[in-house]
Chain A
Amino acid sequence: DQQVKQNSPSLSVQEGRISILNCDYTNSMFDYFLWYKKYPAEGPTFLISISSIKDKNEDGRFTVFLNKSAKHLSLHIVPSQPGDSAVYFCAASGSGAGSYQLTFGKGTKLSVIP
């Protein structure tokens, strides 16, 4: 039973355009959300996060939006660059004692076409 779902296994975007990666979750106890980026043969690297008390967090070209009522979050990358081509994982955690345990989605492979 997937508690964090990334329903698009892959996404192709033209360089310079916006990339939108989506993520849905089912566990209402989740209150902290993260995006990790993974290149082949490397470990995941942290990209951006958002607390449930916010609905938006921005860091340079990356913005994460959270819609708690819909249990949905999205990662926007604008403008997209070829170096952004990677697998993006959405992850979530609870609060307090469960805050260390991340639940990941299956990932979305982003290809940015030059």
Chain B
Amino acid sequence: GAGVSQTPSNKVTEKGKYVELRCDPISGHTALYWYRQSLGQGPEFLIYFQGTGAADDSGLPNDRFFAVRPEGSVSTLKIQRTERGDSAVYLCASSQSGGSGTGELFFGEGSRLTVL
């Protein structure tokens, strides 16, 4: 498809388990972002990639969260030892270049994570 693709769309896991969420950005978009949206809140910034490197990971809540983008395209958000508070919709977005002032962000439909 032409848009940002995220898998899985839904993931239910048990507390303490490891989870991977995948994002396939729009072809040619160099910038990739992960956001997290908790119930009743707006999306919150997690991490920003420009190419293969994480240009800013200051939004990751703690060291249980990690994200990679090894070839500058697909990205994986990894969550270790999941906790109930990690339950949220994880949104991925991409843009042609970094910076909201230079181009809009295109969001995927999100991966809904539920930690029991």
A→B interface (CB under 8 Å): 4, 6, 32, 34, 36, 41-46, 49, 51, 89, 91, 93, 95, 99-107
**B56 at interface (Cβ–Cβ under 8 A)?**
yes
A residues less than 8 Å from B31 (CB atoms):
100
Contact A100:B48 (CB < 8 A) given known A32-B100, A34-B100: yes
Chain A residue with the shortest CB-CB distance to B93: A43
**Contact indicator B101/A44 (Cβ below 8 Å):** no
A residues less than 8 Å from B56 (CB atoms):
100-101
Contact of B33 among A34, A36, A100, A107 (CB under 8 A): A100
**Contact indicator A104/B43 (Cβ below 8 Å):** yes
**Contact indicator B43/A89 (Cβ below 8 Å):** yes
* B interface residues, how many (CB within 8 angstroms): 28
**Closest CB in chain A relative to B7 CB, distance in Å:** 13
A32 to B101, CA, bound (A): 7
1/0 contact string of B34-58 vs chain A (CB within 8 Å):
0100001111110010000001100
**Contact indicator B99/A4 (Cβ below 8 Å):** no
**B108 at interface (Cβ–Cβ under 8 A)?**
yes
**Closest CB in chain A relative to B98 CB, distance in Å:** 5
A106 to B37, CA, bound (A): 10
A105 to B33, CA, bound (A): 18
B→A interface (CB under 8 Å): 4, 31, 33, 35, 40-45, 48, 55-56, 59, 91, 93, 98-102, 104-110
B residues less than 8 Å from A4 (CB atoms):
42
**Contact indicator B107/A100 (Cβ below 8 Å):** no
B residues less than 8 Å from A34 (CB atoms):
100, 104
**Contact indicator A44/B107 (Cβ below 8 Å):** yes
**Contact indicator A46/B42 (Cβ below 8 Å):** no
**Contact indicator A43/B108 (Cβ below 8 Å):** yes
**Contact indicator B101/A51 (Cβ below 8 Å):** yes
Contact A102:B105 (CB < 8 A) given known A44-B91, A107-B42: yes
B residues less than 8 Å from A46 (CB atoms):
104-106
A101 to B46, CA, bound (A): 9
